[in-house]
């Protein structure tokens, strides 16, 4: 295949992995990112809008395994923590607190707690060393013509911007491309422009749940050097305090802390926002035991300081137009986080897309009379993006549905008698 000009919009985990797949195939890759480089210490930390750590599973690991860079997986996995199951926290009628581990996999396979920013940085570090990759930070996609294969970016006013603009005024640049990969997240601009070129079915839903982050600090009381003693609760589990209508979860981090998330309907947020002093009692009632891990003052401070963010679920199809553009990751299928698969599914999009590009390239190049390439070159070139839409959309829609269903499982069913009976029968 002739080496092409790829542009990737969005340098999140999915866009960065897509850039690596393209660059490893020898294409010329330009990555355009709205924000500044997240490795720059002066950049606003990602956790203002994104969860600090997340669950990495085989779906995502496999996509990194096939990226053509052993260093990537080695680096990412080195700083992950295996989680063999979930740990359900509750309180018996007697008032006694209990913890109940529930394995994720009968064969003992784990999922991994990973730092989202570290994973992203590992990808950017590898890409930066590749001669055929160029970054354009502080560049916001504002328009695209997918027939002429031209896109427009507004250069954000930043001293660190690669294209200097006069103070205070945004400059626009025009860029031509052969193939655009849109990985610009749930509110994707690429998807918005793609809608004008294809008959896209589109559905979005905000669920009535907001999320806010908290932190369980590392254990500073014990003097022991044993790494396990840094953690106040088991580091090998994803911890859940199910509250029927709400849920509080905790995921371990390497430094002994846990990133925790409170998922709760907006009305409950409003109730607590009106008087944050009620928060510790609310936690003691619904998430017993948490206030002994997060002191009430810290609990209130996090609730007051950290944003209370919505959760969106998006389904659309197709994911491509002709041979000029595809969307991947949250841009194609933002999902609620309860199945821990949003990023994992996005990374899998990349592996699927490039497997199809490779397959169709092989068909074009083989002169196999039993499997001829289409005569029309534009049909030939769009075969892989079309197949990507056809195979990927149904899978992504299914994962979106599972993610929505798993909220009920996590916040309620894990405690129900039916769940316990089913589990007992399965184990029997």
Enter the tokens of residue 117. Answer: 């920013």
Contact stretch for ligand FAD (CB under 6 A) within 10-18, 61-69, 282-290, 358-366: 10-18
Q: Considering beta carbons, is residue 214 or 231 the nearer one to ligand FAD? A: 214
The residue among 38, 206, 56, 36 whose CA lies nearest residue 122 is 38
Kindly tell me which of 15 and 256 has the beta carbon lying closer to ligand FAD. Answer: 15
CB atoms within 10 A of CB 136: 18
Coil, helix or strand for 261?
strand
Mask for 111-140, x = binds ligand FAD (CB under 6 A): -----------------------------x
Q: Is 34 in the site for ligand FAD (CB under 6 A)?
A: yes
Q: Which residues contact 164 (CB under 8 A, 6 or more apart)?
A: none
Which structure tokens are listed for 157?
A: 């006013």
| 9 lines the binding site for ligand FAD (CB under 6 A) | yes
Query: Within 184-213, which residues bind ligand FAD (CB under 6 A)?
Result: 184-185, 189, 211
Work out whether 238 is an interface residue with ligand FAD (CB under 6 A).
no
Shortest CB 139 distance to ligand FAD, Å: 6
Q: Which of 23, 52, 54, 64 binds ligand FAD (CB under 6 A)?
A: 54
Q: How many residues does the chain have?
A: 428
Listed residue (47, 43, 62) closest to 115, CA to CA: 47
Interacting stretch for ligand FAD, rule CB under 6 A, among 13-21, 124-132, 277-285, 397-405?
13-21
Is 98 or 202 the residue whose CB approaches ligand FAD more closely?
202
**Torsional sign, CA 197, 5, 120, 171:** negative
Q: Choose which of 138, 209, 261, 313 interacts with ligand FAD (CB under 6 A).
A: 261
409 phi and psi, to 5 degrees? -60, -50
CB of 383 to ligand FAD, least distance (A): 24
In three-state secondary structure terms, 416 is coil
Candidates 46-54, 224-232, 280-288, 406-414: pick the segment binding ligand FAD (CB under 6 A): 46-54
Which span (29-37, 66-74, 157-165, 193-201) binds ligand FAD, by CB under 6 A? 29-37
| 22 part of the interface to ligand FAD, by CB under 6 A | no
Q: Which stretch binds ligand FAD (CB under 6 A): 83-91, 178-186, 193-201, 227-235?
A: 178-186
3-class DSSP state for residue 93?
Answer: coil
Give CA–CA dist 370/196, Å, rounded. 37
The three-state secondary structure class of 289 is: coil
CB 216 within 8 A of CB 232: yes
Helix (H) or strand (E) holding 243: strand 237-243
Out of 7, 8, 11, 399, point to the residue binding ligand FAD (CB under 6 A). Answer: 11
Applying CB under 6 A, does 80 fall inside the site for ligand FAD?
no
Binding to ligand FAD by residue 350, rule CB under 6 A?
A: no
Pairing of strands 28-32, 5-9: parallel
Q: Interaction with ligand FAD in 306-335: which residues (CB under 6 A)?
A: 329-330
Residue 168, Cβ density class (10 Å: 0-12 exposed, 13-18 middle, ≥19 buried): exposed
Q: 69 or 209, CB closer to ligand FAD?
A: 209
Closest CA to 193 of 150, 144, 147: 144
Would you tell me which residues interact with ligand FAD (CB under 6 A)?
9-15, 32-35, 50-51, 54-55, 140-141, 183-185, 189, 211, 261, 329-330, 337, 340-344, 346
């Amino acid at each position: 295949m002739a080496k092409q000009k790829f542009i990737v919009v969005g340098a999140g985990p999915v866009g960065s992995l897509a850039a690596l797949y393209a660059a490893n195939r020898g294409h010329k890759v330009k990555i355009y990112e709205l924000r500044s480089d997240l490795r720059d210490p002066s950049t606003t930390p990602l956790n203002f809008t994104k969860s600090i750590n997340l669950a990495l599973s085989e779906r995502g690991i496999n996509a990194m395994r096939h990226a053509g860079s052993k260093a990537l997986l080695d680096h990412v996995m080195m700083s992950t923590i295996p989680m063999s199951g979930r740990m359900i926290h509750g309180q018996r009628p007697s008032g006694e607190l209990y913890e109940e581990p529930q394995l994720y996999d009968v064969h003992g396979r784990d999922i991994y707690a990973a730092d989202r920013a570290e994973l992203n940085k590992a990808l950017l570090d590898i890409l930066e060393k590749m001669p055929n990759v160029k970054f354009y930070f502080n560049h916001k996609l504002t328009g695209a013509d997918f027939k002429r294969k031209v896109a427009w970016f507004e250069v954000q006013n930043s001293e660190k911007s690669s294209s200097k603009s006069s103070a205070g005024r945004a400059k626009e640049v025009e860029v031509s491309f052969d193939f655009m990969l849109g990985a610009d997240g749930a509110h994707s601009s690429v998807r918005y422009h793609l809608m004008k070129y294809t008959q896209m079915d589109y559905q979005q839903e905000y669920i009535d749940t907001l999320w806010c982050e908290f932190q369980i600090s590392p254990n500073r009381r014990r003097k022991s050097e044993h790494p396990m003693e840094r953690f106040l609760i088991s580091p090998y589990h994803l911890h859940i305090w199910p509250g029927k209508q709400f849920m509080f979860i905790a995921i371990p981090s390497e430094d002994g802390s846990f990133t925790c998330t409170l998922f709760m309907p907006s009305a409950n947020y409003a109730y607590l926002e009106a008087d944050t002093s009620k928060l510790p009692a609310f936690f003691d009632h619904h998430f017993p035991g948490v206030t002994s891990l997060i002191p009430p003052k810290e609990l209130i401070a996090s609730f007051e300081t950290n944003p209370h963010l919505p959760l969106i679920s998006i389904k659309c199809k197709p994911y491509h137009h002709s041979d000029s553009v595809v969307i991947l990751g949250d841009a194609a299928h933002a999902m609620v986080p309860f199945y821990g698969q949003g990023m994992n599914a996005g990374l899998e999009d990349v592996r699927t897309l490039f497997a199809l590009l490779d397959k169709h390239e092989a068909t074009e190049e083989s002169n196999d009379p039993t499997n001829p390439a289409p005569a029309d070159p534009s049909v030939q070139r769009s075969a892989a993006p079309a197949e990507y839409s056809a195979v990927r959309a149904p899978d992504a829609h299914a994962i979106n549905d599972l993610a929505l269903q798993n909220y009920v499982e996590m916040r309620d069913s894990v405690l129900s008698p039916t769940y316990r009976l089913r589990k007992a029968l399965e184990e029997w």
